[in-house]
Every structure is written in C-alpha cells, then in structure tokens.
Chains A and B, each alone.
Chain A
C-alpha cells in the first residue's frame, strides 16, 4: 500500500501541520489521518510523520504506542467497542462482551475471519446514562442487550446500513478516522440533538414549570434573556475563593514525593518505557 505517496495525503498532512503554532502538535491528528489511509499505523506512516515533523521514528513510535486508538493491526471496516468499565459492566456490558466474543469467534482487540470487524472492550465512553453502551467506529449505540449487540454486528457484516443511536449513519472506520484528523464529512446534521436520558432533567423541569431565576416569565423557546433583570442578589464572598484554592487539585502535584524503586517492577504496561 503506497497510499501515503499520493499528493492528496501530503496536502492533508501539511494542512494539519498548518493549524498549529508548533508543528509537533500536529502529530495526533496526523496519526489519525494515516490510519484513514492505511487502515492502521504502518512503519511507513511512522517514517513519514517523523520526516514531516523533524522527529525521529522512535519518537513518533513512542507516541503512537501510548494511545489506544492507534492500531498496529488492520481494524477492518468496523471497530466495535463494548464498554466494560464498572457501571456498564454491571448493567450488562460484561454479558454483551462475552456474547460477542463467542458469536464472532474473536478475543479482545481481534478481527473476525472475514476481516470486517474488530472487537474491543473499551473504557467509560461518557455515556453512562445509556448503559450498557457500545460503539461502532466511535459512534454511540445506547442501551444495548446481548441480542441487540449480535444483531448489530450481523448487520454490519452483512453490509446493512445502520445508524447510531445518537449520531450518524455508520461509515467505515477509515472514514471516521479522517474526521478525527479534522476533515469533516458533512454528517454533523444527522441524528438527534440528544437522547432521552440527556433530556430527562429538562423534561422534568418543563413538566413542573421549573426555571432558572429570571426566566420565570419566559417562554421556553426563547433563548436570549439579556433583557431580563438579574433577580435576587447574593454575595460572592472572597472567602469562598480562598477555601477553593486550598482544595484545588493544582496543589496536589506540588507534593510530589521521592519515589522508592526497591520493589520488583512488574512490566504491566509494555509501553511504559519509551519504545525503541
């Protein structure tokens, strides 16, 4: 595959670099872009990024191995994620993941025999109010069950069109990676504003006529409230700020401690040390 040699790819990579005051900042989106071209991060892609950013290949490799979204092996058309962080796991994510593993005949981070689907258990994807949650090419599939999950992957493998619960029609993983690199695909207007859970509080407030101060007389459709006088006054005491400073996490790092290296280091994160 020499997709990286095309003029378009070179132009795109230069366009990414041009977004930043210092070019190294372009590395993460560049790696997303090469994935959209190559289907994974290839050694050639690493060389190319290194060359364009005046870095060593080892530097680029060290970055690429740090982040879970960069893949060394071909992903195929669909990356299927199952959230197995605690809340989703308890709500059924574990059951969904094991059912899919069985159904697809693959382990974690492996691709199906037809090459179409890579299955991965993922961490909390900021959709816990829709647990158990799945993703396809990083689009949300909310409130899943083992059966709905099987139907979803079967549809994908059969080439049927699927839409995300809160998102667009599912494209390919490579197309999704191109968007992550900062090149819009024109699908922002697809899908809803929000799912039911996102609107739960708003609907409750509407039912009861609960509103923020100063909005009592307003129709809920009008946004601008600049003509509303501020209501009740309350003092914003200086003491609050001081108390807050005392507990803010910016202080924690100051208490950095000497590290004792005496215990045997279990190499549990292979990329903890800079990869060659």
Chain B
C-alpha cells in the first residue's frame, strides 16, 4: 500500500505555469502506447486496475466498457459506438471535475481518445454544464490544440484510428447529470431519464452503443495505461482501488481539493488540513454530495471508500465532503436541499414531482417554528412514498438528507414545532465572515 496520505496524480500539474496548455501537459504518451495495443487489451488493463466510476455510483469502469457489443450480429453491434463524458457536475457539494478541467483539460482529452480506442468509438462528446464559461473555454482550447497536434482527428499517430471530440455545453438542469437524461439532452430534448433496459451500452446515444463516464473516471485512464493496472491498484483499499479527489468545503480552515488513496478518513483529512475553523465543532457532514445521507462527528474514522461509507449507512457518492459546524441549523439545510430537488425534479414521475413539493411545505413550517404535531412522521411518510418508487435516483436522493437528519437530529425538528430555526441558530453566525462562534457572539447576533 502507498505510504503517502496524499497522492497527487490528477492534480499534480495544477500549479504549473499555463497548466492548461499542451506545452505544459506533454505529448499524449499514454495515448501513443494505448494505440499500439489491441482495444481489448486496454479494456483488460482498466478492468484489472479496479477503477470504479467517480460520478457517484462506483460502477467498475472496465466492466462498463466491456458491455459494448463488439460482435456485429449482436443487438446494436452494427451501429457506431459513442463515448459521452459526463461533465455536468451539479450534485450539491461536488466541485472536483470543474477545477480538474480548468487546470488540466488535456488529461481528460487524452483519456477520451484512449477510451474511444478501447471501446471502438470514433466520436466522443464532452457534455459540460453550461454555467462554467471559463472551463468551457479551456476545454475548447485543449480540443483544438489536440487536433492541431494530430492527437485527435483522422488517423491519430498514424494508427489508422479516427477520434472526433465535440465539447457540448448544457443549459442548466441538474437532472442532465443522470446518464440517460443526459443522453436525451444531448439529442436536443428535455433532459428526462429513460427507462432501462435497454442500457446505454446497448442503446444509448441515437440508440447506439454508448459509454457514459464521469470526468474523473476518464481522466484516470491515461495514468493507468501509462503506469499499469498494478500501480493504480497499489493505492486504495481492497475493493476501492486507486487515488481519487476528495473535496472539502464548509466550516473548515482550508477548504479545497485533496487527492488521496481511497479509504482515507475525514479525521485524517481534517488533521492534515488544519481542522475546523476557529471555534468550530463538526456537527454534520455529507460524504458525497447532498444525495448521500448525512453523517456526524461519530463517523470521523469511517474509511472513505465505497464499502466503508456504505457500512456507516451512507454512500461515498462524489466524495463531496461538506462540513457544517454547531452554528448551523440542520432544519434550514435540509429545507434548502429539498427546495433544490423540488426545483430540479424533471416532472416525469409523480412520487418525485409531487413528493418534493409536499416535503418543502412541511419543512418550511418547521424552519419557521410553525411545525404541527405529527410533522416529523409526515416527513418520514412522505420520504417513504418517494424512496424506491421514483423513476430515477434523483427522487431517492431527495429523501437522504431528510431521513438522515431526522435520525441524527430529531430534537431540532421537534424544536421546529415552536421555535424558528433562525432563533435557535442565528444565520449570521454560520457565515464565512462570522466571528469565532462563542456563546457571546451567538447572543450578540440573535
């Protein structure tokens, strides 16, 4: 196992002068060596590395690639193949792909070219959320540079292989991060999830075999090809291999991106990064975005890998560690997240479309201290009606913050029957510019 607690691989060049340019990045050596291999060999390497999808679900990447039908007589086998990179990054708290593409778009573009070779696709799309103008500029420029250098386009490196890449900007809709909604959106439609099966590997974009992967998953491919599956698998834990980017945000001294082997704990991350801000105590946190159940200070030593976090009753998700201290009202937070899900519900299925609306009604009362007898049971009941009955994982995710918050902080919901959250936790006291949260300071702002 690797000895170093932090292992910058993807983030390694981020501080280099003009890191986003081809000059700073290098010569696509990994692509060159991948093109000398048979596509199946590349897939086998990625399988052996143990790389699992970094977009939240943790599906083994090499296995996903292996689902693409290669036999022309299989269903979908006679159609062109596509690669779609999911660069929609919109799960609340998640902020790793955007800095990666800003600082080092070429590692993604090189990963795209290698993956196209592996899955025998000639065309790839990078679907990037529209609200990140400068990241889109950097991606456009990187693709342009790669074409000019002959790393994309026709007959890459004289291999006879063609790879075309289109950078496609979305237009503001969280649901388009869900892979089948993303495909509909990329086809010029409203972004609404599709019924599965058929799975995208068989009938994805334009009903053709399609691989959809997260930015960080694809960006991890060049180093695996270059240094080998064993090297990658030497980092991480038994079932969660490799290094990954953890994002710290909230009431901490040093928020930011920390690239470490899978399995590091929040305590370790806090210890090395200076801990909570002055006067702060950790109250609750999300391990992987707002759709993953909240954890508390009790869970500081949970290994942040797929199994460890699942064992604690949550999910590793996107490794978006949002930390909130004792000044924060959990009811306020849960309401705000629920408003988000309500706003972003695509409207396709009733449990989510209507359920999120009802949840907001109930939570608004509780935030305002006007909760009614039985509101907590009502919330749990409403969640029960959504979980497992929604058409896609957005609906399930919407229930996570609520049920976990009630589990850990039921008394705060009880207090919502009579006292507004802003009286219990003056909102000014949680801000970035608040003085250290002493009792005196709390009283002064109340």
Point out residues on A near B: beta carbons under 8 Å: 19-22, 24-29, 31-32, 53, 62-63, 66-70, 81, 84-87, 89-92, 94-95, 122-132, 135, 137-140, 143, 145, 164, 166-168, 176, 179-182, 184-185, 187-189, 191, 193-205, 208, 210-214, 220-221, 223-226, 228, 230-237, 239-241, 243-245, 247-250, 252-257, 259-261, 263, 265-266, 268-269, 271-274
In the assembly, what is the distance between CA of A86 and CA of B331, in Å? 11
Contact B320 A123 (CB under 8 A): no
Stretch in contact with the other chain, from B147-155, B230-238, B412-420:
B230-238
If A86-B337, A193-B16, A273-B347 touch, does A214 touch B60 (CB 8 Å cutoff)? no
Contact B233 A271 (CB under 8 A): no
Judged by a CB distance under 8 angstroms, whether B439 is at the interface is: no
Judged by a CB distance under 8 angstroms, whether B259 is at the interface is: yes
If A131-B249, A198-B99 touch, does A269 touch B345 (CB 8 Å cutoff)? yes
Contact B133 A200 (CB under 8 A): no
Contact B250 A254 (CB under 8 A): no
Contact B8 A21 (CB under 8 A): no
In the assembly, what is the distance between CA of A131 and CA of B235, in Å? 31
Contact B353 A269 (CB under 8 A): yes
Chain B residues whose CB sits within 8 angstroms of the CB of A269 once the complex forms: 342-343, 345, 347, 353
In the assembly, what is the distance between CA of A32 and CA of B167, in Å? 14
If A199-B15, A241-B47 touch, does A212 touch B4 (CB 8 Å cutoff)? yes
In the assembly, what is the distance between CA of A202 and CA of B431, in Å? 27
Judged by a CB distance under 8 angstroms, whether B209 is at the interface is: no
Residues of B107-134 whose CB lies within 8 A of A: 123, 129-134
Between A and B, 12 residue pairs with Cβ closer than 8 Å are: A66-B190, A67-B172, A67-B173, A81-B131, A95-B427, A129-B247, A193-B103, A201-B8, A223-B13, A236-B229, A249-B57, A265-B350
Cβ of B284 to closest chain A Cβ, rounded Å: 11
Choose among A166, A244, A247, A259 the residue that contacts B351 (Cβ–Cβ < 8 A): A259
Cβ of A203 to closest chain B Cβ, rounded Å: 8
If A66-B191, A140-B134, A200-B254 touch, does A91 touch B7 (CB 8 Å cutoff)? no
If A66-B173, A126-B97 touch, does A213 touch B15 (CB 8 Å cutoff)? no
Chain B residues whose CB sits within 8 angstroms of the CB of A29 once the complex forms: 168-169
Choose among A191, A226, A234 the residue that contacts B230 (Cβ–Cβ < 8 A): A234
In the assembly, what is the distance between CA of A220 and CA of B354, in Å? 53
Choose among B89, B171, B230, B250 the residue that contacts A28 (Cβ–Cβ < 8 A): B171
Contact B256 A196 (CB under 8 A): yes
In the assembly, what is the distance between CA of A191 and CA of B99, in Å? 13
Chain B residues whose CB sits within 8 angstroms of the CB of A126 once the complex forms: 89-90, 94-95, 97-98, 129, 132
Chain B residues whose CB sits within 8 angstroms of the CB of A274 once the complex forms: 190
Choose among B33, B60, B185, B427 the residue that contacts A245 (Cβ–Cβ < 8 A): B60
Contact A85 B92 (CB under 8 A): yes
In the assembly, what is the distance between CA of A250 and CA of B259, in Å? 26
Choose among B226, B255, B345 the residue that contacts A197 (Cβ–Cβ < 8 A): B255
Residue of A nearest to B143 (CB): A184
Cβ of B422 to closest chain A Cβ, rounded Å: 10
Chain A residues whose CB sits within 8 angstroms of the CB of B52 once the complex forms: 244
In the assembly, what is the distance between CA of A274 and CA of B190, in Å? 9
In the assembly, what is the distance between CA of A199 and CA of B290, in Å? 24
Stretch in contact with the other chain, from B18-26, B69-77, B295-303, B367-375:
B18-26
In the assembly, what is the distance between CA of A261 and CA of B189, in Å? 25
Contact B231 A32 (CB under 8 A): no
Contact A94 B256 (CB under 8 A): no
Closest 10 interchain pairs by CB?
A: A200-B256, A272-B347, A201-B258, A27-B188, A67-B171, A197-B256, A68-B172, A210-B4, A167-B134, A248-B59
Cβ of A183 to closest chain B Cβ, rounded Å: 9
Contact B137 A254 (CB under 8 A): no
Contact B103 A204 (CB under 8 A): no
In the assembly, what is the distance between CA of A211 and CA of B2, in Å? 9
Judged by a CB distance under 8 angstroms, whether B396 is at the interface is: yes
Interface membership of chain B positions 258-292, coded 1 if the CB is closer than 8 angstroms to chain A and 0 otherwise: 11100000000000110000000000000000100
Interface membership of chain B positions 348-392, coded 1 if the CB is closer than 8 angstroms to chain A and 0 otherwise: 011101100110000000000000000000000000000011011
Chain A residues whose CB sits within 8 angstroms of the CB of B255 once the complex forms: 128-131, 197, 200
Choose among B16, B144, B190, B260 the residue that contacts A63 (Cβ–Cβ < 8 A): B190
Contact A236 B63 (CB under 8 A): no
Contact B333 A90 (CB under 8 A): yes
Cβ of B152 to closest chain A Cβ, rounded Å: 14
